[in-house]
Each structure stands twice: as C-alpha cells, then as structure tokens.
Structure 1
Amino acid sequence: MHDAISARGKEGKVVSAHTQILSTVVPSPRYDPELGVITPPANGMPRLIFGRPVAPRARWRRRYVVVLLLLDLLAAMAATRTVVALFEKADAGFWDDRFLGGAVSTFALVANVGVPLLWMTILTASGAYDRRALGRGTEELRRVVRANVAMAAAVSFLALGFKKDVSRATVAGVIVALLLYTVATRVAARIVLRRIRRSTQRASQKVLLVGRLGDALAVHEVMIRNAGAGLRPVAIHLPRHPRPGERVEAPVPVYVGWDLVPLVQQLGADTIAVCGPASLESYELRKLAWQLEGTGLDLVVVPQVTDVTGPRIHVRPIEGLPLLNVEEPTISGLSLLAKSLLDRVTALVGLVLLSPVLLGIALAIKVTDPGPVLFRQSRIGHQGRAFKVWKFRTMYTDAEQRLEALRDRNESDGLLFKIKDDPRVTPIGRHLRGLSLDELPQLVNVLLGQMSLVGPRPLPTEDDDYRGDVRRRLLVRPGITGLWQISGRSDLTWEDAVRLDLHYVDNWSLVYDLGILWRTVSVVLARRGAY
C-alpha cells in the first residue's frame, strides 16, 4: 500500500512509488554556501569560434558510432571488390591504367582508398552518424539512401571531370553495392543493439519524465513496451504538488519541486521528456532548452497530438512560433491503387510459390482429424461490408457448439473471444496457430480484393458492434497481418489493439506496410502472443 502525499512537501523532496516522502532535502546545485545566494542558471552556451565546450555523450553511443564507421568502411571496400569481380573485363582498359612507376593501378587506388573515403565523407555530411537518428525508426536508413544518391552524383561528376571512360554499369554497380552492403550491415547492427537493450537495458537513454502523473505514466508505458527503442524512464517530475490526500503510485521514483537540470544530472539521466500540454509553460520550456545547451542532455517534447507520425506532421514556424501542421490521412487515389496492385500481385505469387506448403497442411489436417480442411466465417471488412474469410481449420468440428460453455473463461476484454489453452483447438491446429500458417488461405481473400496483406484484423462480429472511434478500422481493408500482430497479438488488451489499428489507419504508407511485413516474419517465428 502506497502512502498519501502531503501537499505541503518542500522543494527538493522526492515522492517514491515505494516509500514515503524523504525527510531530507537535497540542496540545489546552484546554491553557494559561502555567498549565501543562489546563482541564477546559465542562459545557454556562449557563441565562440574557439574553445566551445564539448557536450559529453553516452559511452555506448560513442562505441556504437565507431562500430558503424568500421562497418561502413568494410561495406564500401566490399562493394568495390564486388564491382571488380563483375565488371573487370568490361573496363579492362581502366583497370590497367598504371602510374607511380607501374606499381599501383589507378583503379586499385580509387577502389580501395578513393571510394571508401568519399562514401564515409558523404555519409557523415548526410547525418548518417547523428546520434538522434541511430538505432531507431527509419530516419537512419533514409539518410543512408540520401547519401547514396549524393554518392551517385559525386561519382558521375568526378568521372566527367577527370574524363575517365568508365562504363555506366560500373558506376551503377558501385552505387547499388554500396547501398545494399551498408543497409545490410546497419540493419544487422541495429538488431544486435535492440537485443542488447531488451535483454540488459544497456545502451539506452535514461529519461526523466516531466508532466502530470497521467501523461507521464502513459509515456512510461509506451517506452517500457518498446524497450528496443532505447528510451528507459528512470523517474517522474510533477509540475506541482499533489492535492491533500492524493495518492501517487508509479513504477519509478516521483519528484516534485526540483530544478530539472540538476535533478536529471543527479539521477544520471541524459534525456528530459516533457509530457503533455500542461507540463511546462512556453517560457519555461524555452528557458529549459537554454539551460540544456552544452550539458549533453537531450530535450524531448511529447506533443498533445498523439498517434500521428511520419509525413503527416510538418512544422511551420511563423515569427518564432512553431505551428504543428497535421495533414489528413491519404488512403485514396494513386496510393490506394499502388497498395491494391501490390496486394494482388503478391497474393498471386504467394499462392503459386506456397502451393506445396498449402497442400501439405491440408493433408495433415485431413489425416489427423475428420472434417473439412478449410474454415469459412463471416467477417466485417472495408466500409462495413461482410465477406467470408478463408482459414485452415484449427478447431474440432463442434467448436461453435462448445463456445457458450466456455464464455466465462474468456481472457479477452473486447470483441474477441480468446483462451490460451482453448480445448477446442486440435493438436495440429495449435502448431498452425503458433506459426500463423492457418492464415495462409486468406491470400485468396487478398486476391479477390476483400482483404489486404497489411491492415486491421477482420473480426467475427456484426457491423453494429463497430461504434465510435472503433469504426475507423473499417476505412481500410482488413489485413492478414498488421500492427496488432507485430506488437503482441493475443497478449494485447482490446484497448491497445484498437489504438494500434487506428494508428495504422491514420499513418498508412507503402513503406509502413513493407516494414510491418518485415517485422511479421520475426514475430511469427518467435510465436509471440499466438494462441
């Protein structure tokens, strides 16, 4: 049981989730005991040509950047050697151009020194080593692609300037190999980094959450659920003292009345996250940004508009006032046509390539349990239209009759009925569900245009069950996989599942779909949340 917080708490006290308010007061670092005055905080770093203080960085980030530098260098050297192997005969005259007494060929110098150095320089200029883009999201890979385009332009201009007759195939080979090798090594490095973060909680930014308790706890939950993103909350700072008798319950220590910069330094954190609109006044936020200059601390502001990301958000500054422009979702026109074409072509190719697997599963079901191989059920799809979904049968034939007797064992809090150890599931069906192989026949639904590869899952409910915000799920075609699948599947609450589906509807893009398909593979192989 947590203790109530007194509204008369003094400045500098900490309210913990596990203890009472501490009786000792930690003096502010700005207090000078000799002068007996409080030194006002600095208003930012002085602008100097020389002698500018260097902000400290987390050790893990420096080590990670060094690893990326080595990987990118090796990728550049491997790319040039690949081009040598493929196009050596085509450009034999260029390879044999020798100088320095016949000891070193022009190509050897360009391939082993020039291209790698130029590639590393362009990557650096494109911000591919910027600490804010490393290890999370698509921004890092986007900068690598941007650097690759710049590399193509640079190589073309250099070849033209030095009047070297290099084949177009050679230039294209270098550019493509650089992109493929660099992206592959960076994806591998990111996978290792995320696994380290999940298993050891190392290589993460320690975050002080600033804001009302409800807003801070909401951000805390998201950060903990996505440990691979590298943001680990260590404490919460409330903007004002709680009301008399109000209880504060939180999984991390809760502070009130502190100066933020000394507090975050004392906690050993490196990031301040301002949560919610009522956390700080605008002038306080600006002064906080000034105080963080030169400290190496990051400032993150969680906007009031949540679950909207990507190209829909633009910042439009007007006389120093940053306006957050949120565009409406675009799920129509050419983008919808491209998505439909991708779905149907992929479904057709998938049905052809997977036909032996589909036949094998059908035989296994038929041999192990009498009854039909396929199961068809009515689902609600795009714009509320009902359709029949196709699945491999994973339950006994009397599953519907046994449903009412199991209602009280339902472990789902929404429109779904879920039991981890459902007695109606057949032995072969349990394995099919674990690997989501029972969903493969839905490629037929995708081919018919009733479903998509990626989208909200179609639910076995009536159209009238979709009320309020939940009805936005029906603005897009339901999918075989989606954010619901890659974020926990059946382990999620109904509220979380709806939130993820609405997030997808609001932020859809082809790149987003490809990312979800890629992550689906690892989730399915790990059998996370499948039952």
Structure 2
Amino acid sequence: MDWEQRYRRAVITSDTVATACVVAAIGNFFGARDAANWHEKWGILAFGTELLVLAALAIGRAWAPAVLGQGAEEFRRLGRSLFAATVVLALGGIALTSRNIKLWIFVAIPAIALVTMTARYLLRLWLHRQRKEGRCLRPVLAAGSPATVRDLINRTRKFPHLGWRVDAVCTTDGLGLDGELDGVRVVGRLTDVANHVRRDGYRVVAVTPDPHWSPARLQRLAWNLEGSDAEMVVAPVLMEVAGPRLHIDAVLGIPLLRVSMPTFTGGRRAVKEVVDRLGAAILLLLFSPLMVFVGLLVLADSRGGAFYRQRRVGKDGREFTILKFRTMVAGAHAARAALAARDEGAGLLFKVRRDPRVTRVGTVLRRYSLDELPQLFNVLAGSMSLVGPRPPLPEESAAYGPDIRRRLLVKPGLTGLWQISGRSDLSWEEAVRLDLRYVEDWSLALDTVILWKTLRAVLYGQGAY
C-alpha cells in the first residue's frame, strides 16, 4: 500500500538525517580544535561512522515494514543494530590504533540512539493518530471459527493503533449471523480464502484456530497465496505468549513453534535489578523538591501525616509496606464498609469514582499519579521494581486462583502495562490479562517502552481516580 512505502521512506530519511546531524555536530565541535588535521582525523571517522550506522540498520532489518510502528520489536532491532555498529567501530579503532575512536563510541553512538529513537517515536505517534481516525490500516481477511474470528475483530477495534482492520470473514460453512460477524461481511468458506484475497486485494490473511486447519491445508493456503501481496498470519493456540519467547524451528522438515520458559533469574534480571535501583536513586534526586512541596500541601490540606503506609504483597507472596502520599482523610479505611454499595472497582479491586474520603489535594495527586512518587523508596529498597504488575493487597492476594498467582512470580511495579492501558478504567479480567502478559513476555525492551509511555499516561491522567 502507498502509505506503507511512504512511512518506510519517512523512517529511513529520519534515521539518515538524525545520524548525519549528530555526526556533523560532534565532528564540527571537536574537530574545530584540531583544524589542521580535520580531514585526516575527524572527517574520515565522521563519514565512516555514518556509513557504518546506516549499514547496520539495513543489515539488522531495522527498516523492515513488518516492524515499523509495531510494538517493542522496532526499537529492539534499532538497539541491536546500533550495538553492532558500536562493536564494529571499536574493533576498527583498535585495528587502526585511532586515539579519537572513544569519542565516537561513547558519545556519537549513544547520541544517535537517543535522536533516532525519539524521531521514530514521534513518527509512530503520527501513525497511531492516523489509525485512530481510520486511515493507514491494513485490510484483513480473517479465516477461522466464528468465535475466534469474533475475538480478533474485537481486538482490532479496541486497538486500532496496531494497524489492522478486519474487512471480511471466511468460516467453515461460509455462514455467520445474517451473513455478518459483528458487522463484518462473511464472504465465503475457508476453502475459498485464496480466491477472495486475489479478487479483493486484502493485505493480511489472519488464520484463527478452527478444526478445518490441518497442516496440509495451511500449507496449501500458503502456496495459493504466493504471488499476491497478502501476508499470511497464523494465530497460535498460545494466544497470550509472544515476543522473545516464541521461536520457529524446523525439525525433520516440520515447522515447530518453540516456546521458551519465562526468565525470572539470570543476566537480564540482574540488569533490571541494577536499572531499578539506579533509576530510583536518580529519580528521587530529581523529584526531591517536588516531593517536599507535595508533602507540605498534604499536611496543609487536612489533618494527618504526609505519607500513607499500607501492607501489600510482593514477589513470591512476601508482604512489604508500600509508601504513598496520603490522599484521603484520616480514618478513611474505617469508613470503607459504608461505601461498599458504591464500589465501582473491577473484580477484587475496591474503587469509587467520586470517593468522599479523598481530599482536595488528593484528587489532584491521584489524577497525575503524584501520590505514587514515594514508592521510589520501595524500589530503592528492593521490594518493588520500576516496571511490573500492580502490587495487590493481602486480602486480594488471598483470593487469587492458581493462574492469577503467577503475578507474584516477579516484583510488583511502580508502573506497568495496566498503567499505560487505562488503569482504573480497565475491567478486572483485562487488568489480570495485562499483568500475566507482562510476567510471561517480559523483556528489557518492553520495560523501556512502558516507562516511555507512562509519561504520557500520567500527563493525560486517563483512568486515574
């Protein structure tokens, strides 16, 4: 589609211009000090660094249309490509015994990473805005059982930023409810999928679970789609497992979907631990004046202390004391029983949208999540993480079933998928699904994306009360 090519060209141009600007700025600033040997010492390194970075992005498939504007994989490929460029640059510097190579490794590449990631994020915001308005969407033909197709339709409508729009459906018997499934035309049987794709030009064929789909029929469908512009996507049975845990292996000519175990220990978790402690320390230093100001406002607004302490359940079911700025009047917990009839919370959560116990200052603090800032002390102490599932109350945890208890396999977080997806507006089932998805699919790249998106969620205050 035309918009896909235009968007890809925009990303390539953005990366090229950003790299050139950073390299030129560093070369001109530092090279001016040694103008006599600028071309020899700086010009060659600057030009070589830019070529190396762009070549690494191309080889690392950081410009592949399938990942542009889609989840954390785009930034993961960008990061891997820049890391590869750094390694090659370092080895080249050692081989050439260049004394200036450290500047390009420790200043230029990090600066390029910062600028390119920011530019890509801004382009993604534009793309997602277009998709919410019904533009820049890939037309999808969904083929499977009515129940699984209906689930796919609902998900694409709920998350238009993913870029799919189900325009047609094929089912086993070619029938739906009055020829439609949730307002989408049922155009034929599963045996007719390839014919409809070639005739109507769908960009994606989404194959959802159905007893009809045997390995032989899936292979035949893939053959019949050859030569068309359609991408065939097969939804696995493990719908909630994704990201780095899924791998495709060929064993004896049989394609197998290999699901690796979720990682709760090891090197990446050690890196996360270091990032949590260091990040919490830096944020506490940055926000300390704001926290002092907020504490004084809380004290001036109503009787009681500035902080509220509450027991929560953390990793492996261990309880700890969470810190928050007080947002309710003194004795608010004792008045909870009188508000039971007004409970608007999801599932085990207790929430009242216009809770009379919340103070005037507390309303503002909750809207912008400023009451959560003291939890940085919990992160620094090691009982919480910067990113993770929501920390439950002991009575909530006691009511968990075996599936939901998987939330306790990792540390609870100051923010998480629930924070950037609607917070209190989420249903209980959706909040649990997001937390379990984080536990199953955790990665450092996912943490980075969540932290980035948290800023926007806090500024807009959506779902906070």
1:395–1:424 CA contact under 8 A, matched in 2: yes
Q: Which has the higher contact order (CA 8 A, sep 6+)?
A: 1
SS of equivalent residue, structure 2 residue 403: helix
Q: CA deviation at 1:266?
A: 5.1
1:290 and 2:223 correspond: yes
What corresponds to 2:343 in structure 1?
410
Post-superposition CA distance 1:154-212 (Å, at most 9, x none)? 66788899x796731454355444434333322222222122222x1211212122111
1:239–1:280 CA contact under 8 A, matched in 2: no
Distance 1:432 1:272 in 2: 46
What corresponds to 1:140 in structure 2?
74
Q: 1:470 to 1:123 in 2, by over 3 A?
A: closer
Q: CA deviation at 1:498?
A: 0.8
Q: 1:64 to 1:440 in 2, by over 3 A?
A: same
**Alignment-mate amino acid for residue 257 of structure 1:** R
Distance 2:179 2:348 in 1: 33
Larger radius of gyration: 1
Distance 1:70 1:333 in 2: 38
Distance 2:39 2:416 in 1: 54
What corresponds to 1:50 in structure 2?
none
After superposing the two structures, state which structure 1 stretch, 345-354 or 298-307, moved more: 345-354
What corresponds to 1:331 in structure 2?
264
Q: 1:336 to 1:64 in 2, by over 3 A?
A: closer
Candidates 444, 448, 455, aligned match of 1:514: 448
After superposing the two structures, state which structure 1 stretch, 326-335 or 291-300, moved more: 326-335
What corresponds to 2:15 in structure 1?
72
2:145–2:210 CA contact under 8 A, matched in 1: no
Q: How does 1:369-448 map to 2 (within 5 A)?
A: 369-448=302-381
2:316–2:410 CA contact under 8 A, matched in 1: yes
Post-superposition CA distance 1:247-267 (Å, at most 9, x none)? 975242334426213324555
Aligned CA RMSD, in angstroms, stands at 3.0
1:492 and 2:426 correspond: yes
Mind listing any 5+ residue stretches in structure 1 that lack a counterpart? 1-57, 98-105
2:150–2:181 CA contact under 8 A, matched in 1: no
Q: 1:335 to 1:124 in 2, by over 3 A?
A: closer
1:82–1:177 CA contact under 8 A, matched in 2: no
What corresponds to 2:251 in structure 1?
318
Q: 1:454 to 1:120 in 2, by over 3 A?
A: closer
SS of equivalent residue, structure 2 residue 419: helix
Q: CA deviation at 1:347?
A: 2.4
Candidates 300, 304, 318, aligned match of 1:367: 300
**Alignment-mate amino acid for residue 254 of structure 1:** V
Distance 2:209 2:61 in 1: 29
Q: Percent identity?
A: 38
Distance 1:89 1:119 in 2: 23
Q: How does 1:85-484 map to 2 (within 5 A)?
A: 85-89=28-32, 91-95=34-38, 119-149=53-83, 151-152=85-86, 167-169=100-102, 171-172=104-105, 173-198=107-132, 200-240=133-173, 250-257=182-189, 259-264=192-197, 269-276=202-209, 278=211, 280-462=213-395, 463-484=397-418
Q: CA deviation at 1:486?
A: 1.2
Post-superposition CA distance 1:121-174 (Å, at most 9, x none)? 54333323221121112333333334435545666788899x796731454355
Q: CA deviation at 1:78?
A: 0.8
1:208–1:234 CA contact under 8 A, matched in 2: yes
Bigger helix share: 2
SS of equivalent residue, structure 1 residue 405: helix
Distance 2:217 2:287 in 1: 59
2:174–2:187 CA contact under 8 A, matched in 1: no
TM-score, normalised to structure 2, is 0.89
Q: CA deviation at 1:432?
A: 0.7
2:72–2:446 CA contact under 8 A, matched in 1: no
Q: 1:308 to 1:396 in 2, by over 3 A?
A: same
Q: 1:141 to 1:349 in 2, by over 3 A?
A: closer
Distance 1:127 1:290 in 2: 25
Post-superposition CA distance 1:202-260 (Å, at most 9, x none)? 112121221112212222233223222212222332123569x9997524233442621
